[in-house]
Chain A
């Protein structure tokens, strides 16, 4: 155990990192466009991610319209359907979720929550956003390119991804997708270096790792994972680009297409699958770990209770991060592998459920006998816990080889991953926006509109994805725009129509959320300082919203962890992290 002191300032070492002023903006361009302030960069990241996310939302409507009412919408051809599902998946996973959690929340919260003035490499941080922006532009450009975007499925499996039978395969679609991914990864690496090194180097005095809020633990671990996992996608994308443009055969076996021998030969699509899933599975946790961290903080603040099992929560985050690198081949059970190989990956997959379950128990135990305020962040957090639990349980089914093989490529898988890494993290994003909106803008979001948004989204998400499990269980395959087969009962068509109506309503509720943001920016109630009475450092800035440099004259000094809520004897029901307090008076006894 660390030594502690009665005198709150004694022994806190002087700041080894010189407190240098961050680069100042001198005009419109350097303040709003090429800003080097992490807070502005966070807003740029989030704005761009939400904008491209809206495209993904519209695509999901189109996908559902086709599935719910096949043959009614003539402009949705089979090719267009493949393009919609591909772009929807890739945008949601990479360009929205990864970007908003790490580029958005990471940029805004890391410096503020660890007590830094800014990121350690502000110029590189600025470049990171502009690389991301270029990646989004290139991706969006594929909608307007000859042949349209790629329709290879978000996994971009070769050989079909670069053959003429796939939309965009021999035209621009796949090329733009791969270039966009390469740009995204370069941009992310620049940003990721900042997030990781800022946590390592720029924590303020007294901010030990075990005093960091779990939000930072989640973002930090996810960043380290992403820095190690994204190179796999980078290598795969470059190799496929070579195959497509320069005629190499990294992934392309000998093929006959329309009676004609192609020039490819000898390559292995399985090599691509290994590279893709070496990125793809950690990617699930790259999205989930920041969500785990954020939701832990939201629950503690809005239940006025310290987080249950903080140490366990930290260890679980680190262990999940490490384990996620040795489970990738559970996405490849049907690609043909040695049975022991499948056994190994099934075992590691099930082991990951242990630290994950610990986290769920700890969230529930934090709520137990807490002073629960049913604020919007709390509602979304509760929605997350239930949804993540549901999605996680179906993951246990799919992690087992014998169950996975018949369920592979069915709508059951689609329902599973939408629950666990679609709806669940998006619940957290909404909870986090409702929670930190006052910090960013100085105003509160409308509670009434937020309630409608929450209930329609929560109930609607279940109306969409719960029945989808059944559709998958009866054997309906994914990625088919229309299916008429003897094994598909009529009830599937009815359910599909129901799901589509639910999806359209849920989508419309997201527009209400955007309206709430716009309305509250102008008319929202002023929040004042620290409206949620939170203990973590980002709420203790001298100004709300925090100004350039975050902390005014002097950096804060941290005296305690971020979860001192409802401490017996304390004058308020929270003690801020930078509050020295009358030494030892409020301390819990061991």
Chain B
């Protein structure tokens, strides 16, 4: 559970850093009228704050899944999964999608509608290709005797890649809404807030995927051993 404890500690630091700027030492019983020193709410777009909170929830979810992997890795029957090559291709596609959405955002900020639409389309396609690659990886694993229930590593791979894929699918719904705002004739700056949120979400899911992959493929087994040692 040390991964999730680390995650909660990070959240606590962020929360206390924010709270420390909110005048928690004030004496409201002595004060009437305006309080000018404390920033008013609403300084940041609501969508961005909402996404921040949601990413904390998603981060927690994968930190917990990662913690379960680390605990399970301590048992004698655990061995690292032999990843099919298509997993690496899929990872590259997700990185490409993340990059494309960032380019689309930057182009939209510049007001370059054409470049923004092209990068956006490439990002959406790369994301779909990533999902297809994940399904291929599942099939390849099943063919090579590493099916869902074959060994603990495979079970966790199916579980985590499935959960991750569902989050990507949810992101695609948001992406479809942004596509409407990037439609022909519309000024690209209208799509900037939505594109910004999508780009951040994609970067975050890429990071999550890289972390999970490092854990499941055995790259991070030393870190995992250290995590287990801390709590045992």
Contacts and interface: CB of A to CB of B under 8 A. Distances in A.
Contacts of A464: none
A246 B37 CA distance: 57
Contacts of A5: 33-34, 36
A13 interface: yes
- Residue of B31, B36, B38, B46 with highest tally of chain A CB at under 10 A: B31
A232 interface: yes
Contacts of B31: 1-2, 4, 560-561
A211 interface: yes
A559 B32 contact: yes
Interface of A: 1-13, 15-17, 120-121, 189, 192-193, 196-197, 200-203, 205-211, 224, 227-228, 231-232, 234-235, 238-239, 242, 246-250, 263, 265-268, 270-271, 274-275, 278, 306, 310-311, 314-315, 318, 322, 325-326, 338, 341, 559-561, 563, 580-581, 583-584, 586-588, 590
A532 B111 CA distance: 56
A250 B72 contact: yes
Interface string B31-62: 11111111011111010011001101100110
A208 B35 CA distance: 8
Given A193-B53, A197-B49, A197-B53, A588 B72 contact: no
A238 B159 contact: yes
A4 B1 contact: no
A289 B61 CA distance: 23
Looking at chain B's contact residues, is the secondary structure mostly helix, strand, loop, or mixed?
Answer: helix
Interface string B7-30: 010011001000100111111111
B71 A274 contact: yes
B173 interface: no
Given A266-B75, A560-B28, A588-B30, A193 B50 contact: yes
B64 A235 contact: yes
Given A209-B22, A228-B60, A271-B68, A17 B46 contact: yes
A211 B38 CA distance: 12
Interface stretch (B97-105, B116-124, B148-156, B207-215): B148-156
Given A231-B64, A311-B24, A2 B38 contact: yes
Contacts of A247: 148-149
Contacts of A9: 33-34
Of all A-B residue pairs in the complex, the 9 with the closest CB atoms, nearest first, are A11-B34, A16-B42, A17-B42, A561-B28, A231-B61, A247-B149, A5-B33, A248-B155, A2-B35
A35 B149 CA distance: 44
Nearest to A314: B24
B36 A193 contact: no
- Residue of A5, A197, A202, A270 with highest tally of chain B CB at under 10 A: A197
B226 interface: no
A315 B41 contact: no
Contacts of B155: 242, 248-250
Nearest to A13: B40
B87 interface: no
B29 A561 contact: yes
Contacts of B26: 1-2, 208, 210, 311
Nearest to A8: B33
A196 B53 contact: yes
A242 B148 CA distance: 9
A309 to B, nearest CB: 10
A560 B1 contact: no
B49 A275 contact: no
B36 A227 contact: no
B142 interface: no
B20 to A, nearest CB: 11
Given A120-B46, A271-B68, A208 B22 contact: yes
A231 B155 CA distance: 19
Interface of B: 1, 4-5, 8, 11-12, 15, 19, 22-38, 40-44, 46, 49-50, 53-54, 56-57, 60-61, 64-65, 67-68, 71-72, 75, 77, 148-149, 152, 155-156, 159, 163, 231-232
Contacts of B28: 208, 210-211, 310, 560-561
Nearest to B54: A193
A318 B18 CA distance: 13
A10 B36 CA distance: 9
B68 A275 contact: yes
Contact of A248 (B29, B40, B54, B149): B149
Nearest to A575: B32
Contacts of B54: 189, 193
Contacts of B156: 250
A9 B231 CA distance: 54
Contacts of B41: 16-17, 200-203, 207
Nearest to B77: A266
A249 B46 contact: no
Contacts of A583: 32-33
B42 A210 contact: no
Given A3-B37, A12-B34, A209-B24, A228 B163 contact: no
B67 to A, nearest CB: 8
A207 B77 CA distance: 57
Nearest to B21: A209
A590 B46 CA distance: 37
Given A2-B35, A8-B33, A560-B31, A235 B148 contact: no
B32 A228 contact: no
A235 B24 contact: no
Nearest to B31: A4
A338 B75 contact: no
Nearest to A17: B42
Contact of A274 (B1, B23, B148): B1
Nearest to B45: A201
Contact of B25 (A120, A211, A249, A311): A311
A6 B36 CA distance: 13
B34 to A, nearest CB: 4
